[in-house]
Amino acid sequence: PARIWVMNADGTNQHAVTNDAPGEHHHPTWSPRQADGGYRIAYAQASMKDAYMRAQIWSVRDDGADRQIHSDESIGAYDDEPSWSPDGTKIVFVRSSQQLVVVTLSDRSEWPLMSGDLEGEQHAPAWSPDGSLIAFVSSHEIDPDGYGKQIYTVRPDGSGLRRRTFDRAEKGNPAWIRR
């Protein structure tokens, strides 16, 4: 099974932070600094359940302690690709490649980012450094001219959906830079 490891930049102090957790662990992402001064790593934990691959969003402290589940495991979905809000209180993630979902970490309340599902696949949500936008890749506007997966942004309240790229090359994994 795939595990998540951390180490110093020089390669020293390597250790697995998801050693004892069942299933495969992927798409790790670092939290902003937490109130206790430490950091957490959010990730997707996938395993077979009822003959289907299922996944939930979890997080763990950078020393491997205090594992917490964040997405609703009773739904039986494939939750993947987490991205932390800049204040560290929420995570946006992809549910079964079809929907972006936001979860508040304090009470595990979750809601779809946009009302109604977009047609096509949604991937790679990335919260802007100032928290005002979430970028993501979507194929919901595939058209006869060959536009496939393009980059969009939306506000954290689900309003203001806006397409940002307009060429035939498929896009993936938007990232923000702090200026």
Is the distance from CB of 40 to CB of 31 less than 8 angstroms? yes
Give the number of other CB atoms < 10 A from CB of residue 107. Answer: 7
Residue 162 pLDDT? 94
Residue 147 pLDDT? 61
Share of the chain above pLDDT 70, in %: 96
Q: Which residues of 142-165 are buried (b: 16+ CB within 10 A; e: fewer)?
A: eeeeebbbbbbbbbbebeeeeeee
Residue 119 pLDDT? 79
The rounded average pLDDT for each run of 10 residues, N- to C-terminus, in the chain (179 residues) is 89 89 88 92 88 90 92 88 96 92 93 79 94 93 69 94 88 89
Residue 116 pLDDT? 67
> 3-class DSSP state for residue 57?
strand
Question: DSSP string spanning 64-100?
Answer: S---EE-S-GGG--BEEEEEE-TTSSEEEEEETTTEE
Dihedral Cα 84, 88, 89, 93, nearest 10 deg? 10
Residue 161 pLDDT? 94
114-165 pLDDT, tens digit each: 876 677 888 999 999 999 999 999 988 776 555 678 999 999 999 999 999 9
